[in-house]
Structures are given as C-alpha cells and as structure tokens.
Amino acid sequence: MKLAIMGAMPEEIEPLLEFFGEYETVNYANNKYYVVNYKGNEIVIAYSKIGKVNSTITASTMIQKFACEKLLFSGVAGAVCDSLKVGDLVVATKLAQHDLDISAFGHPYGFVPEGAVYEEADVKLIDIAKDVAKEKSINLKDGIIVTGDQFVCDIERKNWIAKTFEASALEMEGASVAVTCNALNVPFFILRAISDAADMDASFSFDEFLKTSAKISADFVLTMVDKIIDAENK
C-alpha cells in the first residue's frame, strides 16, 4: 500500500527520514517529496511548509500525484486546555478552522456553506494509535484540534478559541489537511506533541521544545506504521 506521512516543518519530518535512512527525492510544486520503500510498501514523506494553504497543496499532492491511500500527520501544537503539557501527545478526533469567519452572515465560526465546522478523522487509525499507546504505556490523549493561519501567543485569543471550538490544542495545518483528505476520501490521522501553551511565552517555549516534541510525535507515528501495514494485509 501507499502511505503518506507529512509534517509542516523540516524538524517535524527529520526523525522520519533518519529512521528510514534511504529515500528517493522528488521535486514537485515547489516542494520536496521523499519516497521510501518499506517492507514492500511505498511511504511518501514531506514537510509542507507552515499554514493552511501549503498543507493543502502537500496533502493534495500526496494523494493525487503519489496515490497515497492513507495520510498521517506528525508535528507539534500549542495546548489550549490545562491537562496538556509540553511533550504530551494529542490525537485529533475532529478538526476545525478557528480563523474561518463569516459570522457576519449568521454562520457559526469555522463554517462556510456546503462545508462543516468539524472534519472527522479516521476512527480506525485512531484505534490503532490507542492500541499502540496501550502496548507501550504511552499517555495518548484525544481531543479537538483547531487550525488557523496564525501562531497563537495571546491568552485572550487562546481562551476564545478553546471555548468556541471546545479545542484541546491548536496549530496551523491540521484542519486544512482534514478537509483535503475527506474531500478525496482518504483516511487521515493528525498527531501532535505539545510545544507550548499558546500564551505570551509561546514563541520561547516553541523554540525550546520544537525538536524534542516533534521527535516524540514522529516516534509514535513510526510505531503505528507497522500496525497499519499489518491491518491492511489481514
């Protein structure tokens, strides 16, 4: 089978490339796609660059050009609930765009006509993640992850987002990847390790913990890959 694993920043996919070691590099649409052969399966790895537009291009390319049948996202996020601390893993049950706003017309935040506020992630992939977490005694939380084209480092904005979307964490790519995958009928999974608390210290915390948290997320996704392949070949 063909599997996509994406991140937004180089740091988010470096542990993956290091693990697989050998890959072919394909240049396409202003980006690089790293193609790995793993146990007879093709795994396409890429970092999209930050934000909703870039992540949409990458997810779409992985599906439409590289024919990936499932997509996993690995990266870091800001926590917007008290129970998530730096280094904690959170998997998205569903995702929304917190900066999408046509509320002037009476629509809910995150909604546009013919769309939906929330995009749901694949339940089977979430179940595989929960199995992995249980086996390895890793504390994996699930929750709503929200996405917008802004690095949130303001307590008022953070609290508004948390309340409006019942969110656990926020970042800048998940919901756009979700919209893309659901439109193209490709099961997806969004995992994030916390790097900061989206408050006034967020940029410092992010700089300090980007690498370590990105590795926590990437390592977890790697442990899922074998299980996903096994489930596929059953």
Chain residues binding ligand 4EZ by CB under 6 A are 8, 50, 75-78, 151-153, 170-173, 195-196, 198, 202, 206
Residue placing its CB nearer to ligand 4EZ in the complex, 15 or 75 = 75
Q: Smallest gap, in angstroms, from Cβ of residue 62 to ligand 4EZ?
A: 17
CA 188, 98, 214, 26 dihedral sign is positive
CB 35 within 8 A of CB 26: yes
Q: Smallest gap, in angstroms, from Cβ of residue 198 to ligand 4EZ?
A: 4
Residue placing its CB nearer to ligand 4EZ in the complex, 88 or 173 = 173
For residues 172 and 194, give the distance between their C-alpha atoms in angstroms, rounded to a whole number.
13
Q: Is residue 12 annotated as a catalytic residue, yes or no?
A: yes
Please give the structure tokens belonging to residue 231.
């489930």
Residue placing its CB nearer to ligand 4EZ in the complex, 74 or 195 = 195
Q: How many residues does the chain have?
A: 234
From the candidates 11, 12, 99, 173, which is the catalytic residue? 12
Q: Smallest gap, in angstroms, from Cβ of residue 1 to ligand 4EZ?
A: 27
Residue placing its CB nearer to ligand 4EZ in the complex, 36 or 98 = 98
From the candidates 119, 122, 173, 196, which is the catalytic residue? 196
Element (H, E) at 232: helix 202-232
For residues 70 and 83, give the distance between their C-alpha atoms in angstroms, rounded to a whole number.
30
Q: Smallest gap, in angstroms, from Cβ of residue 4 to ligand 4EZ?
A: 17
In 32-189, which residue ranges form alpha helices assigned H by DSSP?
52-64, 123-135, 155-165, 174-183
The residues, ordered by sequence, that sit 6+ positions from 121 with a Cβ below 8 Å of its Cβ are 91, 92, 93, 94, 95, 178, 188, 189, 190
CB 96 within 8 A of CB 80: no
Active-site residues, by number, are: 12, 196
